[in-house]
Amino acid sequence: MFVVVISIASFAINQEKENAKESMPSLVSPKGHDDEWSKWIVGEWEGTAKSDMGKYKDWVTGKGWAQIEFGLNGQFLIMKFQAKITQMSNEYIQYLKETMNMSDEDIEKIRNSTFEEINIQTIDPKTGEIVGYLFDSLRCVAKGKGRREENKEIMEWQWSVCGQGTSIQTTEKVSDDKFIFTEKYTLPDGSVMEDKGVMTRKKITTEKGKQ
């Protein structure tokens, strides 16, 4: 990586000698994220979520954890999520057996699986628009753009690879230590899935057990 930086600097110097009038690349980073939203959401979170899809209400519920931190000299928010299923509805289990031909063993593997996601966001300094990329353990990839309005962040995602369709995700700050989120997916066949959840800031316990 150090060699790359030196090469960029050398390129800039050589280009300046060849044509001083040309626009040169800047090696000065933009100011890091210092907005109130970014500073507030950094930390460790835990919570619960549920999902509806068509006639299947609360077809799956789960618990999750999130670690959110600044990365690359404060230029990005890096959000790592992990979730586990706590319950699947009887209707959904029946669907898996009858439509997907899954055995009890297959369903148990799903029930015991862990879902992971990495969400990387930054703010375009020219437009103020939020730009994000998301990758998850189902090999889904999403590119997003969005905005912040008072105590809400609204992101629109376009899914690809193993993901399909689009989604709109709304994160709402309830307090310094709590936020709620909803994400509504529209799939290519027109069906809709909606996730809802609540996250609370994970308390930091000292060696003496005080919070």
What would the pLDDT profile of 99-152 be if each residue is shown by its tens digit?
Answer: 999 999 999 999 999 999 999 999 999 999 999 999 999 999 999 999 999 899
Host domain of residue 11: 1-30
The 8-class DSSP code of residue 3 comes to H
Is there a single domain that holds both residue 42 and residue 144?
yes
H-assigned helices in 27-175: 36-41, 90-98, 104-111
Is there a single domain that holds both residue 16 and residue 39?
no
**pLDDT on residue 75:** 95
Measured in degrees and rounded to the nearest 5, phi and psi for residue 14 equal: -65, -40
Is there a single domain that holds both residue 13 and residue 89?
no
Query: CATH no. for residue 68?
Result: 2.40.128.20
Length, in residues, of the chain: 211
- Position 7 confidence tier, pLDDT thresholds 50, 70, 90: very low
Distance (Å) of CA 160 to CA 85, 105, 133, 208? 24, 29, 11, 48
Is there a single domain that holds both residue 88 and residue 151?
yes
Is there a single domain that holds both residue 57 and residue 147?
yes
- Position 29 confidence tier, pLDDT thresholds 50, 70, 90: confident
Is there a single domain that holds both residue 14 and residue 42?
no
pTM for this one? 0.80
pLDDT tens for 43-80 read: 999 999 999 988 888 999 999 999 999 999 999 999 99
Total number of domains in the chain: 2
Is there a single domain that holds both residue 138 and residue 195?
yes
**pLDDT on residue 64:** 96
Residue in 179, 190, 208, 184 with CA at minimum distance from that of residue 64: 179
pLDDT at 11 over 80: no
Contacts for 184-189 with beta carbons within 8 Å, 24 or more apart?
188/164
> Would you say residue 211 lies in a domain?
no
> Would you say residue 54 lies in a domain?
yes
Is there a single domain that holds both residue 46 and residue 126?
yes
- Position 6 confidence tier, pLDDT thresholds 50, 70, 90: very low
Residue with tokens 């289990």: 93
Is there a single domain that holds both residue 17 and residue 87?
no
The tokens describing 47, both together, are: 């919570």
- The C-alpha atoms of residue 189 and residue 53 are separated, in whole angstroms, by 13
